[in-house]
Amino acid sequence: MAVLEILEFPDPRLRTVAKPVKTVDDRIRKLIDDMFDTMYEAPGIGLAASQVNVHEQIVVIDTSEDRSEPLVFINPEISVLDHDTFQYDEGCLSVPGFYETVERPQHIRVKALDRNGDAFEMTPEGLLAVCIQHENDHLLGKLFVDYISPLKRNRIRGKMVKLQKQKAADKA
C-alpha cells in the first residue's frame, strides 16, 4: 500500500470528468487500498480517485472517529429524494486549510458498486450524505469552491497558488 500525491486547487487536472470503472479487479482494489492510506494519512474523511490523478469513478469514505467504517463507492449514482437542503462547513484535501459553508440536498440515495464489484444502495444522512455528494462532485470535475462566491473562490485560489509556490521554493 502507498500514500499517493493529492492534487491541489487550482490544478486543472481536478476538472477532469472521471470515467466509469469497467471491471472491478485487483488493480482497482489496490488503488482503493492506496486511496484509503492516502486519505487516513492526510487526514481526511473522503477521497475521490480524481484527487490522486486517477480519473475513474471511485470514492473512498470513512466518517467514523476511529477509522472503523470504510466505505467504497465505484461508479456512484446519486439521486435527490426531495428538495430539503442543509448547510455544512466543508473542507477538502485538495484545498487544504480552507472551509466554506455549502448548501446541499439533505436526502439522497446513492447506488454504487463496492470493492468486490457488488451493487448496493443506501440513503445516507448528515455528514455521510454531505461527504458522498462532495466526493461525487470531484468525479464530475467540480470542487466545493464552485459553490461559493467568485470573490471568495478567487481569494482562495490566490492563497493556494502562493502556498504552492512557497512549497516549491522550500523543496529547491
CA 11 to chain centre: 15
- Look at residue 167 in the predicted model and tell me its pLDDT: 87
* In a domain? residue 119: yes
- Give the structural domain span for 144: 12-171
Q: Is 146 left (phi over 0), alpha (psi -120 to 50) or beta?
A: alpha
CB contact at 8 A, 66 and 79: no
CATH of the domain at 89: 3.90.45.10
- Look at residue 171 in the predicted model and tell me its pLDDT: 83
* In a domain? residue 108: yes
* In a domain? residue 1: no
* In a domain? residue 160: yes
Name the residue among 141, 135, 147 with its Cα closest to residue 13.
141
> What is the average pLDDT across 124-140?
96
Provide the domain count of the chain.
1
Annotated binding-site residue numbers: 92, 134, 138
* In a domain? residue 102: yes
Which residue numbers are catalytic? Answer: 135
* In a domain? residue 4: no
* In a domain? residue 84: yes
Annotated binding-site residue numbers for Fe cation: 92, 134, 138
pLDDT confidence band for 159 (50 / 70 / 90): very high
